[in-house]
Structure 1
Amino acid sequence: MRDLVVELCKIHKLQAKPLQVLPCESEEIIHIVFCIDKNYIQHLGCAMTSVCVNNHSRNIEFHIICDELQESDLEKFSILSNLYRRCISFYLLGKDNPFKELKISLHASPANYYRLAIPYVLSEGIHKVLYLDADLVCNAELTDLWNTNINDFPLAACPINDQERIDKLELASGRYFNTGVMLINLNKWMNDQVSIKAIEFIEQKPELIRFWDQDGINKIIDGGFKSLDAKWNNTIYMDRPVFRQVEGAAIIHFVGALKPWQKCSDTRKEIYWNYLKMSPWSDAYLNRERVIEEMIIEKINFLILSVFRKARQFKEQNQLLKKLTKAF
């Protein structure tokens, strides 16, 4: 099955290796996987930077599953690799990969389904991975999360209260989780055929699908996952002032359609920009500052123009009033 998926997806592997590997306290490798499309390159860079900044003492390897990577992107990832001395592997899926046929809606893309390929794409010698969405930042060391015992489970994740999804998917367990942060036991995932069964369910019941592979995985596992503390996936909606804010959140996940790099007044977006400043994509932060300055100047010009217009209107009205006064 692994060979079939690799062939179907026409996977091409690239690597960015640091010139000097970071000396770490632990020899055990934490394998972290991201799945993105070309629109999330910068945000992936931010997420990876946040992981590196907060995990100096751990031996981390990144695995990126994506459908397109420009030479300029690879150059920046090489800078990131050398800056934080981490190995980064890229798995490029062909443009005609089978995941593009699955249901897509709202702000999603076929990349949402790429995580279903993780067990087949990665080396057979890797037995456990930490999957992370690219629209999050890591704000703490990941050792405790990585050391979670999942020997009897296909994965560990943070449960969320979504009764609508539980009812719609007819989950007997009454449990549902967000797939943005998953500690995955690849052996059990493969033995339980989670990816295959999830894809079959999504293809057979598209009318039940709202959150793409997340619904499919939840349906197949139906509560059979290990619960993580909410601090490992503190979901934040930028268009909601208060939503499930967790004290001491280790991972902050910007879920929903509105993201911190988009135009919004929510001050929580600054944590994203702070980490981006420490990445090879810091030029985007400088551009953002210039955009803000331009917006401020534009606003000031608009206010000045409005004042002049009001003054002119007042002058014209005053002159008209004088004429009317003389007429009477």
Structure 2
Amino acid sequence: MEINDNINDIIEYRYSNKVNKEQIHIGYGIDDDYARCTATSMISFFLNNEDKVFNFHVVTNNLSKENKEKFRCMADKYKFNIFIYEIKSEFFSSLPQKDYWSVAMYFRFILPILLEKIPKLFYVDADTLCLQRCNGLFDINLKNNVIGAVLDVKRVRKKREQALNLRKNSYFNSGVLVINIKEWNKLNLLEKTIEIISKEPKKFKYPDQDALNFLLNDKVQYINKIFNCIDINLIDEKSIAIMHFANHPKPWSEMWKINIIYNTFTKDLYTYYEEKTPWKGMPLEKLKNRQILIKSYIKYILSKMFKLI
């Protein structure tokens, strides 16, 4: 599959002047709605790892001119590099989408092809924040493994391992991945993912994540859960290196307070970093999806009830 035929444009904001320092490549796959949190994630990595040179790679399909200019201003201000790859909107149109996951969930599969000349890529979801130095992540040696990843939380892991017929304690969360570019591309993962999801769309509840687990079940190096913290009850707050706001509502939502991980530690984390971006002062978003709102509220009520029992 020829990726270059499906790229509309490549925009480069090169402002780093630290040519002799270690180069870190971090990738995101987003649509325009996730521009603000992507920028916030970028800033969190940069500010907590100032000895590194960051190259942020963003695959997108509909980024507005306003958001592009904000990314440029941010790269200029902090002196790092941002590369934006605009792909054709119809590229993944045949694959299933969810009400709360757009086609952007598949964009991570393109990054290793676009970046075939670099050895290692750190893919992170846009709803992540780096809270401290991440040398323990950046220095990981994957050897012959295709990816490094963190096991998903137990309640998700058990169900998906059974559904996908995986071995016990092997289902990982794909929100933070260390990618061995060479080994990834050897397997033609983009084409294989499209093929298996197209054949059995109902089998893959979390399409992109399930596909990766299915295809890479014996090619994963499991890494410390501090690098993809979804449930703050499982990790000492001071140890969290990367916070993943995987649950709804998101911290940039008006309804953030009913998220089950909202507490004194998490409540202002996102705002602290967003205020250092050109998106500073942007109004909180309304939660438009009624189904997500109801599910989130039920989870919130149940979590409060169990804590009282």
Q: TM-score range by the shorter chain?
A: 0.7 to 0.9
Contact 1:176 1:223 survives alignment (8 Å): no
Quote how far apart the aligned CAs of 1:232 are. 0.2
> Which one has a larger percent helix, Structure 1 or Structure 2?
1
Aligned with 2:171 (options 172, 176, 188): 176
Quote how far apart the aligned CAs of 1:205 are. 1.3
- Match of 1:211? 206
TM-score calculated relative to the size of structure 2: 0.84
Contact 2:151 2:169 survives alignment (8 Å): no
- Residue 230 (structure 1) aligned with residue 228 (structure 2): no
Aligned with 1:143 (options 106, 127, 135): 135
- Match of 2:103? 110
- Match of 2:31? 37
Aligned with 1:196 (options 168, 171, 191): 191
- Match of 1:14? 11
Identity %: 27
Distance 1:271 1:14, change over 3 A: same
- Residue 258 (structure 1) aligned with residue 249 (structure 2): yes
Inter-partner Cα distance in structure 2 for 1:71 and 1:192: 36
- Match of 1:299? none
- Match of 1:313? none
Residue by residue over 1:255-306, the C-alpha shift from the partner in whole angstroms, topping out at 9 and shown as x without a partner, is: 123211111323323100111111111121xx45xx9xxxxxxxxxxxxxxx
Inter-partner Cα distance in structure 2 for 1:244 and 1:101: 38
Inter-partner Cα distance in structure 2 for 1:63 and 1:264: 28
Inter-partner Cα distance in structure 2 for 1:45 and 1:150: 28
Q: SS state of the match for residue 252, structure 2?
A: coil
- Match of 2:88? 94
Quote how far apart the aligned CAs of 1:144 are. 2.0
Number of matched residues? 274
AA in 2 matched with 1:215: D
Residue by residue over 1:36-87, the C-alpha shift from the partner in whole angstroms, topping out at 9 and shown as x without a partner, is: 0011011111111111111111011111100122221121111110121001
Inter-partner Cα distance in structure 2 for 1:269 and 1:260: 8
Residue by residue over 1:72-123, the C-alpha shift from the partner in whole angstroms, topping out at 9 and shown as x without a partner, is: 11211111101210011000011221x122111241110001111112222x
Distance 1:246 1:192, change over 3 A: farther
Contact 1:35 1:111 survives alignment (8 Å): yes
Contact 2:112 2:185 survives alignment (8 Å): yes
Aligned with 2:120 (options 97, 107, 128): 128
- Residue 62 (structure 1) aligned with residue 60 (structure 2): no
AA in 2 matched with 1:59: V
Distance 1:106 1:168, change over 3 A: farther
Quote how far apart the aligned CAs of 1:193 are. 2.4
Residue by residue over 1:114-149, the C-alpha shift from the partner in whole angstroms, topping out at 9 and shown as x without a partner, is: 111112222x32121000100011111222211101
- Match of 1:319? none
Inter-partner Cα distance in structure 2 for 1:173 and 1:128: 28
Contact 2:29 2:125 survives alignment (8 Å): yes
- Match of 2:293? none
**Which consecutive residues of structure 1, in runs of 5 or more, have no partner in the other structure?**
237-241, 292-328
Q: SS state of the match for residue 101, structure 1?
A: coil
Inter-partner Cα distance in structure 1 for 2:198 and 2:168: 23
Contact 2:13 2:83 survives alignment (8 Å): yes
- Match of 1:274? 272
Contact 2:21 2:51 survives alignment (8 Å): no
Inter-partner Cα distance in structure 2 for 1:199 and 1:246: 38
Contact 1:174 1:223 survives alignment (8 Å): no
Contact 1:235 1:245 survives alignment (8 Å): no
- Match of 1:158? 150
Quote how far apart the aligned CAs of 1:254 are. 0.3
Contact 1:34 1:133 survives alignment (8 Å): yes
Quote how far apart the aligned CAs of 1:22 are. 4.2
Contact 2:27 2:122 survives alignment (8 Å): yes
Contact 1:55 1:140 survives alignment (8 Å): yes
Q: Radius of gyration: which is bigger? A: 1
AA in 2 matched with 1:121: L
**Which consecutive residues of structure 2, in runs of 5 or more, have no partner in the other structure?**
287-309
AA in 2 matched with 1:278: K
Distance 1:6 1:269, change over 3 A: farther
Q: CA RMSD in A?
A: 1.8
Distance 1:244 1:11, change over 3 A: farther
